[in-house]
Chain A
Amino acid sequence: MKAIEVSSLTKVYAGGTRAVDDISFDVEEGEIFGLLGPNGAGKTTTIKMITTLATPTAGSVKVFGIDTRRAPQQVRQMLGFVPQAISVDGDLTGAENLLIFAKLFFVDREQRKKRIEEALEYFGLADRADDLVKHYSGGMMRRLEIAQALVNRPKLLFLDEPSIGLDPYSKMQVIKQVKDLNQNFGTTIVVTTHDMAEADELCHRLAIMNLGKVAVMGSPRDLKRSVGGDVLTVAVSGKERVAVPEDLGSLVSSENGVMKILTEDGERAIPRITDYLEREGASVESVSLSRPTLDDVLMKYAKTSLQREGTFREARSARRSIARHAR
């Protein structure tokens, strides 16, 4: 079954801005799906429409086969949503935050206590459960937010910029926990992020949005391949010119003893090319490998709007949440 089916989805805001412009895509059950793109690309609006927080101007969204417009409450019952901004209440304790949300999701009284304890344990917050959340660190707040979204055992979890403003250690923890969730419970996860390395590590499949449209979609591996293969830079001495056979790669340039060779799978190609060059009588002094990253993919498919500045409101809200998480 498909977790999400988006078809011809469009959102036009009152001022006439086409935030989302006739997009269609599916998310498979059990998948970690990334929604990437520059500021103002339409990611957040898309998520708002899937989570029934905004009404589409045209088109439709189905979540596990249920139309978001026909049965919004039923759809929300299946969802967990962790917005970009801090969404736990600093004036309540960690345990209270979970309790209130368990109640708002109509979790049975018998199960409530158990689930809250489990969630606190799982996210390493058990010993701080009765402290007010305003005394938590940014990483702890983020983990509590994810814990909060899980008390209703959602089939589909939305994470909007899950690691924004976190230090590298907290970030690694969050990424690991998101992966575990997906593997252990089969939760379908939709992530938006600006962090391409994170997207590469987390997502099975991703869509890059630009100016309200889906610019390109595929697995991180396929997308990276689409912007070019791996490039080996080899410094040789002893022999000026060596021809490179086609099954090893193609020679892009060769100047002053530095050869650039384009290959399919750089890591595997290194020993083969080194062997080959040594056999041909050249001595290899150094080899370096550069591979395309998702940054290159983003630059290729979403270049036009990278030049366009994000709006003041987006910049403000992004920075605010960084400031808050960094406390």
Chain B
Amino acid sequence: MNDLQRSVTSAFTIAEMEARKIRHDSTELWMRAIQPALWLLIFGEVFNALRGLTGGYSYIQYIAPGVLAQSVLFVAIFYGITIVWERDVGLLTKLLSTPSPRISVVVGKALAAGVRGIFQGVMIFGLALIIGVNLRLDLLDVLGVFVVVVLFAMCFSSFSMTLASFLKTRDRMMGIGQAITIPLFFGSNAIYPVSLMPPWLQAASRYNPLSYVVDAMRSMLLTGDYSALPIDILALLISTVFFITCASISLKRLIE
């Protein structure tokens, strides 16, 4: 086997490890579906009374992709805490003492984040169908959304693991997790159009990765206008590769 083959096989092994854990106990996944459900059922329903803010779409249609993106973000940012926990209990040392390349640990965890993201997607789609939110649910669009979900989860989980290698404690990671996710969420087009924001926030939102993700999902689930899609996905792909590289290099700081 050459290095690339070894990296790929090991990455899938790490992801398999996570998947097996979820199979033994999936409570956490169901709990994580509560928050997005509340966003849709309460926030979405209440603001549904407002018309005219969100183009030709009802508010709940408008925020469904936003809520999906947000819930994937929350799942992914959690991975930095997981990796610190695994360091604390000694699992990480053991993983890194195997001949598997370091990058495969990062990619494997990132893939696992992707799997969790897909689960979030399925839950949100299911709920949207039940409460009668009108989304364009044809196969290619849904597949496209899942590709974006997996990439986004991989991107932010590696970002979170990079942060963890520098911050090194669970407490700090919890704090920084909040400090990152909330501004990203409210500074994006997830729950309101950018045009409603004050100019400074509009400027900031142009650099907010969540906006691009929401944009890509919305184009597939609502508008069917794919013109910005290649750019959205390319940006996501580049940042995913970038953060996976960062995390693979910095990960060993956790055990030194």
Chain A interface (Cβ < 8 Å from any Cβ of B): 13, 48, 51-55, 73-74, 76-77, 79, 81, 83-87, 89, 91-93, 96, 100-101, 103-106, 132, 148, 321, 324
Name the segment of B12-20, B71-79, B197-205 touching the other chain. Answer: B12-20
Report whether B93 and A85 are in contact in the complex, using a CB–CB cutoff of 8 Å. Answer: yes
Given A55, A87, A104, which contacts B90 in the complex, CB threshold below 8 Å?
A87
Closest 4 CB pairs of A and B: A85-B90, A87-B94, A77-B99, A104-B98
For A85, the closest partner residue in chain B by CB is: B90
A145 to B171, CA, bound (A): 29
- 85-119 of chain B: CB within 8 A of chain A: 89-91, 93-101
Q: How far is the CA of A61 from the CA of B100 in the complex (A)?
A: 20
Q: Which single member of A55, A79, A100, A105 contacts B17 (CB below 8 Å)?
A: A100
Tell me if B206 is interfacial: C-beta within 8 Å of chain A: no
Shortest CB distance A93–B (Å): 8
Are A76 and B98 neighbours in the complex by a CB distance under 8 Å?
Answer: yes
Are B13 and A103 in contact, CB atoms less than 8 angstroms apart?
yes
Question: Quick one: which of B1, B20, B95, B99 contacts A74, CB cutoff 8 A?
Answer: B99
**Main SS class of interface, B:** helix
Which of chain B's residues has its CB closest to A11's CB? B256
A106, B24: Cβ atoms under 8 Å? no
Asked if A87 and B93 make an inter-chain contact with CB atoms under 8 angstroms apart, the answer reads yes
The residue from A91, A92, A105, A321 contacting B99, defined by CB atoms under 8 A apart: A105
Chain B contact-residue range equals 20 to 34
**Apart from A48-B255, A76-B97: 15 A-B pairs, beta carbons within 8 A:** A13-B256, A51-B97, A53-B252, A54-B256, A73-B99, A74-B99, A84-B90, A87-B89, A89-B91, A92-B24, A93-B24, A96-B17, A100-B20, A105-B99, A148-B94
Task: Confirm or deny: B25 has a beta carbon within 8 angstroms of a beta carbon on chain A.
Answer: yes
Given A53-B252, A83-B90, the answer on whether A105 and B98 have CB atoms closer than 8 Å is yes
Tell me which of B1, B93, B94 contacts A106 (CB under 8 A): B1
Chain A residue nearest in CB terms to B10: A104
Query: Is B9 an interface residue, CB under 8 A from the partner?
Result: yes
Which chain B residues have a beta carbon within 8 Å of chain A's beta carbons? 1, 6, 9-10, 13-14, 16-17, 20-21, 24-25, 89-91, 93-101, 252, 255-256
The chain B residue sitting closest to A93, CB to CB, is B24
Q: In the assembled complex, how far is the CB of residue A116 from the closest CB belonging to chain B, in whole angstroms?
A: 14
In Å, the complex CA distance between A93 and B6 comes to: 25
* B93, B99, B252 interface centre (most CB from chain A within 10 Å): B99
Chain A residues with Cβ below 8 Å from B255 are 48, 53-54
A92-B21 contact given A73-B99, A101-B98, A105-B99, CB 8 Å threshold: yes
Q: Hey, which chain B residues are within 8 Å of A85, CB to CB?
A: 89-90, 93
Q: Which one of A48, A51, A91, A321 lies within 8 Å of B25 (CB-CB)? A: A91
Contact partners of A83 in chain B: CB under 8 A: 90, 93-94, 97
User: Could you jot down 12 A-B contacts, CB within 8 Å?
Assistant: A53-B256, A54-B256, A86-B89, A91-B24, A92-B24, A96-B17, A103-B9, A103-B16, A104-B10, A104-B14, A104-B100, A106-B100
Task: Provide the bound-state CA to CA distance between A13 and B17, in Å.
Answer: 33
Smallest CB separation, B123 vs chain A (Å): 22
Chain A residues with CB below 8 A from B96, complex form: 53
* CB of B29 to closest CB in A, whole Å: 13
CB <8 Å contact, B25 and A106: no
- Alpha-carbon separation in the docked complex, A92 to B1 (Å): 28
Shortest Cβ gap from A19 to chain B (Å)? 10
For the complex, give the distance between the alpha carbons of A53 and B105 in Å. Answer: 14
A55 contacts across to B, CB distance below 8 A: 256
- Complexed CA–CA distance, A81 and B16 (Å): 22
Shortest C-beta distance, B82 to chain A (Å), equals 12
A184 vs B1: C-alpha distance in the bound complex, in angstroms?
Answer: 30
Residues of chain B lying within 8 A (CB to CB) of residue A96: 17, 20
The 8 Å CB contact of A92, one of B10, B20, B256, is B20
